[in-house]
């Protein structure tokens, strides 16, 4: 059965059905472009990166000290010192069995050498080196083998990998000056509602400042998107149709918040139906419903109409929009990321829906991960998102979580920007 956004009607959907249906909105990642290393942070690889070299390039010393050629007959207590190899140098002349050279960390072992002894365990006298505890030396110790980190021809990073600090360092260590990555999704963002007022303006008597455009901008940016901020939609159907059509022609994804609940002055809903093919959903989750979803305009641009309540807007963005942004960029790992933690106290929930509580994680001395609620959980209480470092996800099967029971959590990481 295909779960299309548009033929689900207005029945109550499970979170799983909503996830499956929204996933259909993106069938392929955005095109790739080549970018230099400096511009790759947060981007997603469009192709696997195969190492052109062995890393490390040479078998080398892991310590400052001596490199020696271990004789067949066993190690002597004193080694003739026949030279020196510093980092950046290479000695082509082979060591004869029983000889050693002074060596610094990272310097290539000369031919014949197979073992390194650290400087602190040595004494030098008359062109020979004495080892203080020869019985503790093992043949092959303190040597990093060529290619032991990454062999030439091996896949260093898979396609779909998001490039953070470690990945950038790795690409650089392979000598790559850049890579092909997927284009960042352009995300058009609107707020809706007559009461919604831009920060910086005077707050009307019945007004509310526009929180969503900025919390959603933050989430979209963290997920690798590029925001096109289209402001607050006027309460005028013609203007909404024009703005949405224009956004759909320019953006890879369009997001609005507010104005999609049943029984509202339904201009947004009516306008949306004029511009696209949409479903209006009630999802069995809290906070979260209602949600509109579908495609807009000739380019069939994916669209999300998120709830107006600030916490609901963020939670639905994290559950449904973030995975699509990941797909648009070719990311392969499953999102959202989940862990299991033990509930510090009992957590209220209701069977038949997924409850997303705002939570705070802590580990104890035994290494167990605990989670507690941030307190009041109203879907307008944005300070609960500020206090939280995770969402607690309580399955529809559970009517309550007792203290000490395991529960699923989704960490709210400061993702890459
Ligand atoms: P709605 O989904 O339009 O019915 O809005 C639900 C609640 O969220 C109402 O109290 C709105 O005032 C509030 N709301 C809607 N949009 C925003 C916004 N951009 N920022 C803050 N609150 C909002
Ligand atoms: Mg509204």
pLDDT tens-digit profile of 27-60?
999 999 999 999 999 999 999 999 999 999 999 9
Quick: pLDDT tens for 192-246. Answer: 988 999 999 999 999 999 999 999 999 999 999 999 999 998 777 888 899 999 9
pLDDT band at 262; cut points 50, 70, 90: low
Percent of the chain with pLDDT over 90: 79
Confidence label for 264 from pLDDT (cuts 50, 70 and 90): low
Going from the Cα of 253 to the center of ligand 1, the distance in angstroms, rounded, reads 21
| Tokens, residue 86 | 């510093």
User: Over the stretch 147-166, which tens digit does the pLDDT of each residue have?
Assistant: 999 999 999 999 999 999 99
What's the distance, CA 100 to chain centroid? 48
**pLDDT for the residue 1:** 37
How far is the centre of ligand 2, averaged over its atoms, from the C-alpha of 258 (Å)?
Answer: 5
Least Cα distance to 81 among 53, 113, 59 occurs for 113
Residue with tokens 């019945």: 206
Residue of minimum CA distance from atom 11 in ligand 1: 308
Task: Quote the CA–CA distance of 225 and 247 in Å, as a whole number.
Answer: 15
Confidence of residue 414 (pLDDT cuts 50, 70, 90): low
Nearest atom in ligand 1 to the alpha carbon of residue 309 is: 8
- With CA atoms as reference, report the closest residue to 153 among 261, 49, 9: 49
Torsion angle in degrees (nearest 10) through CA of 335, 336, 341, 342? -130
Ligand 1 mean position, distance from CA 203 (Å)? 15
Domains identified in the chain and CATH numbers: 3-30+184-328 (3.40.980.10), 34-53+154-182 (3.90.105.10), 60-144 (2.170.190.11), 339-411 (2.40.340.10)
Ligand nearest to the CA of 309: 1
The C-alpha atoms of residue 33 and residue 91 are separated, in whole angstroms, by 42
* pLDDT number for residue 75: 80
Residue 171 Rama label (left phi>0; alpha psi -120 to 50; beta): alpha
Ligand 1 atom closest to Cα of 192?
16
CA nearest to 276, candidates 234, 248, 313, 317: 248
Task: Find the ligand nearest to 258 CA.
Answer: 1
Please compute, for residue 70, the number of CA atoms within 13 A of its CA located in the half-sphere on the CB side. 12
Cα–Cα nearest to 23, from 278, 261, 320: 320
Average pLDDT of every residue of the chain: 92
pLDDT greater at residue 367 or residue 135: 367
pLDDT of residue 238: 87
Helix then strand count (H, E) for the chain reads 8, 29
329: pLDDT strictly greater than 80: yes
pLDDT at residue 366, as a whole number: 96
- Of 68-77, 104-113, 276-285, which one has max mean pLDDT? 104-113
Pocket test for ligand 1, best of 266, 309, 313, 316 (most atoms within 8 A of CB): 309
3-class DSSP state of 274: helix
Q: Which residue has the tokens 């109203």?
A: 378
134: confidence class by pLDDT, cuts 50, 70, 90: confident
Pocket of ligand 1 (CB under 6 A): 191, 193, 195-196, 208, 210-213, 257-259, 261, 264, 307-310
- Any idea which of 32-41, 142-151, 289-298, 400-409 has the lowest mean pLDDT? 289-298
Closest ligand 1 atom to 307 CA: 2
Share of the chain above pLDDT 70, in %: 95
Whether omega for the bond prior to residue 290 falls within 30 degrees of 0, making it cis, is: yes
pLDDT digits (tens, 9 = 90+) for 295-311: 999 999 999 999 999 99
Give the distance (Å) from ligand 1 centre to CA of residue 309.
Answer: 5
The arithmetic mean of pLDDT across residues 61-78, rounded, is: 91
Determine how β-strand 390-394 pairs with β-strand 115-118.
unpaired
Instruction: Report CA(267)–ligand 2 centroid distance (Å).
Output: 10
Q: What are phi and psi of 354, to 5 degrees?
A: -90, 125
Rounded CA-CA distance 384/389 in Å is 10
DSSP notation for 319-332 = IIIHHHHHHHTT--
What pLDDT does residue 2 have?
Answer: 46
62 has pLDDT over 60: yes
CA angle 189, 194, 199 (to 5 degrees): 60
């Amino acid at each position: 059965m295909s779960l299309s956004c548009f033929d689900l009607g207005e029945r109550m959907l499970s979170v799983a059905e909503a996830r499956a249906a929204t996933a259909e909105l993106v069938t392929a990642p955005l095109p790739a472009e080549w970018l230099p290393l400096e511009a790759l942070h947060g981007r997603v690889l469009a192709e696997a990166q195969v190492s052109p070299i062995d890393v490390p390039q040479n078998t080398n010393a892991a310590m400052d000290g001596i490199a020696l050629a271990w004789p067949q007959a066993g190690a002597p207590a004193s080694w003739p010192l026949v030279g020196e190899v510093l980092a950046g140098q290479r000695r082509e002349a082979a060591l004869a069995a029983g000889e050693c050279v002074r060596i610094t960390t990272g310097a290539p072992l000369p031919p014949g050498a197979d073992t390194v002894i650290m400087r602190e365990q040595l004494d030098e006298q008359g062109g020979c080196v004495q080892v203080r505890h020869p019985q503790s030396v093992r043949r092959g110790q303190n040597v990093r083998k060529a290619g032991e980190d990454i062999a030439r021809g091996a896949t260093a990073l898979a396609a779909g990998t998001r490039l953070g600090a470690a990945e950038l360092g790795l690409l650089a260590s392979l000598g790559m000056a850049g890579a092909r990555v997927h284009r960042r999704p352009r995300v058009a963002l609107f707020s809706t509602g007559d009461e919604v007022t831009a920060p910086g303006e005077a707050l009307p008597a019945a007004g509310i400042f526009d929180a969503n455009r900025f919390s959603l901008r933050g989430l979209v940016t963290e997920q690798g998107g590029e925001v096109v901020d289209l402001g607050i939609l006027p309460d005028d159907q013609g203007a909404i149709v024009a703005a949405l059509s224009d956004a759909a022609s320019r953006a890879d994804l369009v997001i609005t918040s507010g104005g999609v609940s049943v029984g509202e002055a339904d201009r947004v809903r009516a306008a949306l139906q004029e511009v696209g093919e949409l479903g209006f959903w009630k999802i069995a989750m809290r906070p979260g419903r209602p949600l509109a979803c579908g495609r807009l305009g000739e380019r069939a641009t994916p669209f999300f109409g998120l709830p107006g309540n600030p916490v609901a807007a963020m939670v639905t963005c994290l559950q449904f929009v973030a995975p699509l942004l990941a797909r648009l960029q070719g990311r392969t790992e499953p999102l959202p990321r989940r862990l299991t933690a033990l509930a510090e106290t009992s957590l209220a929930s209701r069977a038949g829906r997924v409850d997303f509580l705002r939570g705070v994680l802590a580990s104890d001395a035994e290494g167990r991960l605990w989670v507690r609620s941030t307190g009041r959980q109203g879907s307008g209480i944005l300070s609960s998102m500020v206090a939280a470092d995770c969402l607690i996800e309580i399955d529809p099967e559970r009517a309550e979580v007792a203290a000490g029971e395991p529960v699923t959590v989704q960490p709210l990481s400061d993702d890459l920007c």
